[in-house]
Structure 1
Amino acid sequence: MGEYELQQFEVSRTESRGAVRRLLTEHAEYGGWELARLRRYPDGTRRVWLRRRIIRVMRTL
């Protein structure tokens, strides 16, 4: 299994579903992130965990 870099952020309850979808799409397209977990709390806030694989470059001699 590979190593992953994680990014976590919180989205307020006032953000629409479309706005959150656009935010996640931009992170995926331009940053190479994928959705690892999204949790919605009873107060309406959403906590998002994104991950992307760490690519290690092998040194050549």
Structure 2
Amino acid sequence: MSRRFRGIPLEWETDSDEFEYLPLRLPREVTRVSASLRLALQAEFGGWELSRVRLYTDGSRRILLRRRKTAHHIPAPGI
């Protein structure tokens, strides 16, 4: 699957032996406070950290989360 199809900008590096990455898209209707709260919950309970954020002129956001690869599986966020 190409990176463009997954919604990741081409200049965002996602190939790593140390980290796994998860791209997210938040629509423009999601407020900054709500987006911050959602991402904080994923960081707290899923082990994800914020890697990149891109805000578009229409108000939508593309977000790239990352976390260290582990031997046990933690499910991806459902936001």
State the TM-score, normalizing by the size of structure 2.
0.66
Structure with max Cα Rg = 1
Relative to its length, the structure with more strand (as a share) is 1
Identity %: 40
State the TM-score, normalizing by the size of structure 1.
0.84
Distance 2:19 2:45 in 1: 17
How many aligned positions are there?
57
Structure 1: unaligned runs, 5 residues or longer: none
The residue number in structure 2 matching 1:51 is 66
Structure 2: unaligned runs, 5 residues or longer: 1-15, 73-79
Runs of 4+ in 1 over 4 A off after TM superposition: none
Higher relative contact order (CA 8 A, sep 6+): 1
